[in-house]
Amino acid sequence: MIPLQTIPRVEDLPYWTSPPIQFVFESTATVNMGAFFWNDPPSSLKPPRPIQNNTMYYFRSISLTADIGELDFMTNLVRPPAFYMFRESDDNAVLFREPVVMNKFYDQFDFRLLWMSAKQGDVLNAAFAGPPPGPTVIDGVTSPTGPYLPASILQGPNLIGKTSITLKAIISVQEIADDSFIGMARHHSYPKVAS
């Protein structure tokens, strides 16, 4: 067995075998009855980015923002948007164990995940929607999951005249094609490799 210390750090891989890329996703909601709602079905990144075969993707950080000021966002927030990513080849199964809940803006929030698609020709999709449902109590009986409700932001006084809000996610990724790193990472499952 190879000691874990011999697995190279992603930061030490040469640029030509692990170039940095960005996954970008945007979603716009128009005002409806005094609020903005997000409950998107999975849709493609912009621009769509095909997943390469025999390539590992190292998710490094995520930035979440909107086309309004952060104070306006936080002041009018009713139910925070949650950012989800999906694997199209797996009937849009979720990629992250839990979505990233956007209760404020994030600038390069540290977010580490090694992922390699198990299927040829995979595509990553994304969505902004409500946060995962939590337990609810109905007639004294607790159910493990409540109703899935859309994310929402009120059209407060400071947003009067604003007819739409666009949320944006930017995920910084390294696209790793270094065979020795991929082999060792998969063999040791270190760092944890999701597929």
Over residues 99-142, the pLDDT tens digits come to 888 989 999 988 888 888 877 778 888 999 887 765 544 455 54
Per-position b or e across 52-76, b if 16+ CB within 10 A of its CB: eeeebbbbbebbbbbebeeebbeeb
| 15 within some domain | no
> Within 13 Å and on the Cβ side, how many CA atoms surround 44?
8
Domain that holds residue 173: 4-9+20-194
Q: What dihedral do alpha carbons 113, 82, 129, 21 form, nearest 10°?
A: -40
How many C-alpha atoms does 124 have within 13 Å on its Cβ side?
25
Whether 144 has a pLDDT exceeding 50, the answer reads: no
Q: Is residue 153 part of a domain?
A: yes
Residue 97 lies in a domain: yes
The three-class DSSP label of residue 16 is helix
Query: CB atoms < 10 A from the CB of 172, how many?
Result: 16
Half-sphere CA count of 45, side-chain side, radius 13 A:
22
Confidence of residue 195 (pLDDT cuts 50, 70, 90): very low
pLDDT digit string, tens, across residues 3-52: 445 556 777 787 778 888 899 999 999 999 999 999 888 888 887 877 88
| Number of domains the chain contains | 1
Percent of the chain with pLDDT over 70: 83
The predicted structure's pLDDT at residue 4: 44
